[in-house]
Structure 1
Amino acid sequence: MNLAPVLSFLRELAVNNNKTWMDAHRGEYQRARTEFTELMQMALQGLQQFEPELAGNTAAASQYRINKNDRFQQSNEPYKKHMGAGFARDGRHSPWAGYFLAVGPNGTSWVGAGKWRPETPAVARIRQEIHYNAPTFHALRQHSDMLHYYPDGLEGDRLQRPPKGYDKNDPDLEWLKLKDFFVSRSFTDAQVLKPNFAQEIVTSFRAAQPLVNFLNQALMEG
């Protein structure tokens, strides 16, 4: 596996983000995609060693398209500036919590885990699980492995006011107000190009497994 062509292609795409350029550089795109697919396969194989729910997943079902989705497009550029994958039960667009990977140039590569912006019924179930099982939740988010690989902890927006049904004096209010239940860590280009990058991804995912399991348990019980 050689991720240098991936970073090189995406670096050029960032300043030539149009269909004409992409059509003229289809060969470079295919080579970059091949290298990224190999990285995905290595990450997925590592994940499957400790996540039985992902046993049937494939790299093909995990990779996101490089074309932007019109529903979420915030600019006229037709292509994303990274290559990404999502590993979760039932595939990359699954409603379950899972593991995510993005490779991009200039320090924009990252891995993450959890559930980003769950739907209203799902977020209600997650909040209920935090409320009922606060000691378990705090133990997993404060675990040494979690803090080592994800020092920023749980990320994302929070409600301005307590969610419906919860007291303003609830000791866990800071966490109940979360809209997202997600951790991530970024990588420099130099780190991406190291021979152990795939293993670093898998190790990072494993550190987040307790969070993913906690969230999926909440979603399963809804």
Structure 2
Amino acid sequence: MFTQDCFDFLDALHLHNDRTWFKAHQQQYEAQVRTPALQFISHMQPHIAALSPRLTAVSKKIGGSLMRPQRDARFSHDKTPYKTNVGIQFRHFQGKDVHAPGLYLHLANDGCFLAAGIWHPASAQLSQIRQCMDENPRSYQKAVAALGAGGFYLDGDSLQRPPKGYDKQHPLIDELKRKDFIAVKALTPAQVTADDFCEYCAQSWQHTQQLMAYLCFALALDY
């Protein structure tokens, strides 16, 4: 599936990030980036279903698990039109966008990684997760411990101050400050281009299952 050609294209796109160049190299993008990504999603379908039947693995050019290459630059100082990474999200079927709980693969020349959890949840969802952590701290701690065993660590943005309603002496105050609940595991290009990459991803994501189940429980979602 993924080969060095994928990374070479992303590197060239970084140097020539404009619509004229991309249009002229559309076939190269299809062959070296999009087709391998869609093949990866297809191969991952049974693995994702085994992890949770609530997660979706949809191998479509538009509207599936593969994120679109175009950037949303409306509110950014960076007006380059294309992403220089590949993003694939196997999200919860009840989620409508990238803020839903899910599993994620990120490929880029400046770093590749696997991820799991929920990124930038809305304030109402964030409140639900924090309340669940406050009421069920041991289950949360067990989920975090399981991440470490699989080489994952929690990453993302956090508040500077304790969230409203929580004392700064709360035993989980650093966790309650989180604005993202994303577990991340770094990948090397050699791992991404290996023949057993799908199996490696499935085995790695097994270690995020407790976190995924916990977050879905907090949000009253089946998992």
TM-score by length of 1: 0.90
Secondary structure of 1:205's aligned partner: helix
- Would the alpha carbon gap of residues 127 and 43 (structure 1) be closer, same or farther in structure 2, given more than 3 Å must change? same
Match of 1:52 in 2: 53
1:160: Cα distance to partner? 1.5
1:110 is aligned, of 92, 113, 116, to 113
Q: Which whole-Å CA distance do the structure 2 matches of 1:116 and 1:102 have between them?
A: 14
Q: Which whole-Å CA distance do the structure 2 matches of 1:212 and 1:73 have between them?
A: 31
1:35: Cα distance to partner? 1.0
Q: Which whole-Å CA distance do the structure 2 matches of 1:125 and 1:157 have between them?
A: 17
1:70: Cα distance to partner? 2.7
Task: Provide, for residues 67-91 of structure 1, a one-character-per-residue CA deviation record: whole Å limited to 9, x for no partner.
Answer: 1013454412110011111111236
Task: Provide, for residues 148-181 of structure 1, a one-character-per-residue CA deviation record: whole Å limited to 9, x for no partner.
Answer: 3334x21122211111111121111111111111
Q: Which whole-Å CA distance do the structure 2 matches of 1:72 and 1:209 have between them?
A: 34
Match of 1:187 in 2: 187
C-alpha contact (below 8 Å) 2:58/2:65 kept by paired residues? yes
Alignment of 1:138 onto 2:141: yes
1:199: Cα distance to partner? 1.4
Secondary structure of 1:220's aligned partner: coil
Higher share in helix: 1
Secondary structure of 1:45's aligned partner: helix
1:45: Cα distance to partner? 2.6
Q: Which whole-Å CA distance do the structure 2 matches of 1:73 and 1:42 have between them?
A: 35
Match of 1:203 in 2: 203
Matches within 5 A, 1:27-42: 27-32=27-32, 33-42=34-43
1:133: Cα distance to partner? 0.5
- Would the alpha carbon gap of residues 113 and 2 (structure 1) be closer, same or farther in structure 2, given more than 3 Å must change? closer
Structure 2: gaps (5+ residues) = none
C-alpha contact (below 8 Å) 2:41/2:57 kept by paired residues? no
Match of 1:69 in 2: 72
RMSD of aligned residue pairs (Cα, Å):
1.8
Match of 1:85 in 2: 88
Q: Which whole-Å CA distance do the structure 1 matches of 2:75 and 2:133 have between them?
A: 30
Identity %: 30
Task: Provide, for residues 112-146 of structure 1, a one-character-per-residue CA deviation record: whole Å limited to 9, x for no partner.
Answer: 00011111100000000111100110011112xx2
Match of 1:101 in 2: 105
Q: Give the letter aligned to residue 16 of structure 1.
A: H
Structure 1: gaps (5+ residues) = none
Secondary structure of 1:128's aligned partner: helix
Q: Which whole-Å CA distance do the structure 1 matches of 2:99 and 2:79 have between them?
A: 28
Q: Which whole-Å CA distance do the structure 1 matches of 2:10 and 2:99 have between them?
A: 29
1:123 is aligned, of 108, 121, 126, to 126
TM-score by length of 2: 0.89
Task: Provide, for residues 182-203 of structure 1, a one-character-per-residue CA deviation record: whole Å limited to 9, x for no partner.
Answer: 1111212222111111211111
Q: Give the letter aligned to residue 101 of structure 1.
A: L
